[in-house]
Amino acid sequence: MPTNGVSGQLLLMLVFIALMYFVMIAPNQKKQKKWQQMLGQLKNGDRVTTNGGIRGVIISVKDDVVQLRVPPDNIKLEFVKSAIAAVTLPEDTKQS
């Protein structure tokens, strides 16, 4: 009956692979899809935070480029859309 041991190990390996998919890969794909959707909905006036931690207001959206106005001196900076980490809600920008 050595085939039972081999088939048991194969079944255990398949269960492990399925578990790894649902624990690691599926949530990452969902997060990536949500981020892509957020990038597609960027518009003038949105407050955003870049991957580098720079916060600003969008003043121009082009194909793959976004221009931000950054306080306190209202400097205009240009970023690729993929550098935008999140849209910042007004209540997130309040200082305590």
What predicted TM-score, i.e. pTM, was given to this entire model?
0.69
Q: What pLDDT, on the 0 to 100 scale, is given for residue 4?
A: 72
Q: Is 31 helix (H, G, I), strand (E, B) or coil?
A: helix
Q: Which CATH class is domain 43-96?
A: mainly beta
pLDDT (average), residues 64-85: 95
Q: Which of 3-7, 22-26, 63-67 has the lowest mean pLDDT?
A: 3-7
**How does residue 52 score in pLDDT terms, banded at 50, 70 and 90?**
very high
Q: Where are the domains of the chain?
A: 1-41, 43-96
Distance from C-alpha of 86 to C-alpha of 71, rounded to nearest angstrom: 17
CA–CA distance, 70 with 56 (Å, rounded to integer): 5
* The pLDDT of residue 61 is above 80: yes
Whether the CB-CB separation of 46 and 30 falls below 8 Å is answered with no
pLDDT for the residue numbered 2:
52
What mean pLDDT is reported for the chain?
A: 89
Residue 81 clears pLDDT 70, i.e. is over it:
yes
Nearest to 55 by CA among 33, 42, 32, 74: 74
